[in-house]
């Protein structure tokens, strides 16, 4: 499998792009120190400044450095995509594994619930959930109004709505694997259902789970960007590529670069994750002829 991954150029190129973007985004605090800037520092006397030695990509409508905000926005967008995708994969794997192993009524109930979630219109559902007032749900005011609460809420909402694909994938594979000889032998030896699922079935499902999770990251980043663009996602002063696009929409004719930079990064990241998922799907396919 390792040699197959190494031979796949699509994986190498996409992985290099994503690793580069992640490394650069992680270096945002270092860039602040080296340039002597603050991502949230407002300088109204230096609005829309052109690129120079200090502001490499210029400044925005509030005089903030565009490059530093792009780096911090990359941290947020990538963090939302990765954490929400992993959380959705864990939830979907658990539900699909239980449904596929036990079958019968358990499978029927869980899959009808999954079908119900799939039938919901995703974007309107996310918009409604993102617009809920957290204080009315009994959450303390200090938490509901904290700077990062929108980040946590988006991750939770997307994870709760994005697990269905992995669940159906795992359930179908588990239905097949539970009839294999090694699973029947484990049952005959008296292994518990939990041990059979965790030790004998789940390791054989890792490849499709990894592929599905990788493909979902790009979609989640797009969802976060859409919600932030609509004003229901990551809230300022926390920067994300989506809310940077929101701030730039009224300036698209006068200062188009404020929209081009985050839009290009979103496009590049989503395409790279999709290519990475496609490459992993080909490389990890046991039926692929060589």
Per-residue model confidence (pLDDT) at position 231 = 74
Q: Is residue 50 part of a domain?
A: no
| pLDDT of 2 above 60 | no
Q: Is residue 44 part of a domain?
A: no
Mean pLDDT of 24-32: 89
Taking only the tens place, the pLDDT of each residue in 181-204 is 888 888 888 888 888 888 888 888
Q: What is the total residue count of the chain? A: 290
Total domain count for the chain?
1
Mean pLDDT of 203-217: 86
Q: Is residue 100 part of a domain?
A: yes
Per-residue model confidence (pLDDT) at position 49 = 85
| pTM listed for this prediction | 0.84
Mean pLDDT value across the chain: 83
How far is Cα 154 from Cα 139, in angstroms, rounded to an integer? 16
| pLDDT of 5 above 60 | no
| pLDDT of 7 above 60 | no
| pLDDT of 287 above 80 | no
Q: Is residue 45 part of a domain?
A: no
Q: Is residue 49 part of a domain?
A: no
Taking only the tens place, the pLDDT of each residue in 135-166 is 777 777 777 677 677 778 888 888 888 888 89
Taking only the tens place, the pLDDT of each residue in 95-110 is 999 999 888 899 899 9
Q: Which of 7-16, 82-91, 176-185, 191-200 has the lowest mean pLDDT?
A: 7-16
CATH of the domain at 140: 1.10.3720.10
Per-residue model confidence (pLDDT) at position 229 = 74
3-class DSSP string for the chain: CHHHHHHCHHHHHHHHHHHHHHHHHHCHHHHHHHHCCCCCCCCHHHCCCCCCCCCCCCECCCCCEHHHHHHHHHHHHHHHHHHHHHHHHHHHHHHHHHHHHHCHHHHHHHHHHHHHHHHCCHHHHHHHHHCCCHHHHCCCHHHHCCCCHHHHHHHHHHHHHCCHHHHHHHHHHHHHHCCCHHHHHHHHCCCCHHHHHHHHHHHHHHHHHHHHHHHHHHHHHHHHHHHHHCCCCCCCCCCCHHHHHHHHHHHCCCCCHHHHHHHHHHHHHHHHHHHHHHHHHHHCCCCCCC
Q: Is residue 48 part of a domain?
A: no
- Which comes out higher in pLDDT, residue 289 or 128? 128
Taking only the tens place, the pLDDT of each residue in 111-132 is 999 988 888 887 787 777 777 7
Domain around 260:
2-39+56-283
How far is Cα 132 from Cα 247, in angstroms, rounded to an integer? 22
């Amino acid at each position: 499998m390792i040699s197959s991954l190494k031979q796949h150029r699509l994986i190498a190129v996409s992985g290099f792009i994503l690793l580069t973007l992640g490394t650069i985004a992680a270096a945002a605090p270092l860039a602040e120190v080296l340039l002597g800037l603050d991502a949230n520092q407002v300088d109204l006397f230096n609005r829309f400044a052109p690129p120079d030695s200090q502001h490499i990509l210029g400044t925005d409508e509030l005089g903030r450095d565009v490059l530093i905000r792009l780096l911090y926005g990359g941290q947020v967008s990538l963090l939302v995509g990765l954490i929400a995708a992993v959380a959705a994969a864990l939830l979907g794997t658990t539900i699909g594994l239980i449904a596929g192993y036990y079958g019968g009524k358990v499978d029927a109930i869980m899959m009808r619930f999954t079908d119900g979630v799939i039938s919901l219109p995703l974007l309107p559902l996310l918009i409604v959930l993102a617009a809920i007032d957290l204080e009315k749900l009994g959450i303390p005011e200090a938490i509901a109004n904290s700077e990062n609460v929108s980040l946590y809420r988006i991750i939770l909402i997307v994870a709760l709505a994005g697990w269905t694909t992995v669940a159906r994938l795992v359930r179908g594979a588990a239905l097949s694997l539970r009839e294999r000889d090694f699973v029947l032998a484990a049952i005959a030896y008296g292994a518990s259902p939990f041990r059979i699922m965790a030790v004998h079935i789940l390791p054989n499902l890792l490849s499709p789970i990894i592929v599905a999770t990788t493909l979902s990251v790009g979609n989640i980043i797009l969802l976060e960007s859409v919600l932030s663009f609509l004003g229901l996602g990551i809230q300022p002063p926390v920067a994300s590529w989506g809310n940077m696009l929101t701030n730039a929409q009224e300036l698209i004719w006068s200062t188009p670069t404020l929209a081009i930079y985050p839009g290009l990064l979103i496009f590049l990241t989503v395409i790279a994750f999709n290519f990475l998922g496609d490459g992993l799907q080909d490389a990890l396919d046991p039926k692929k002829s060589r």
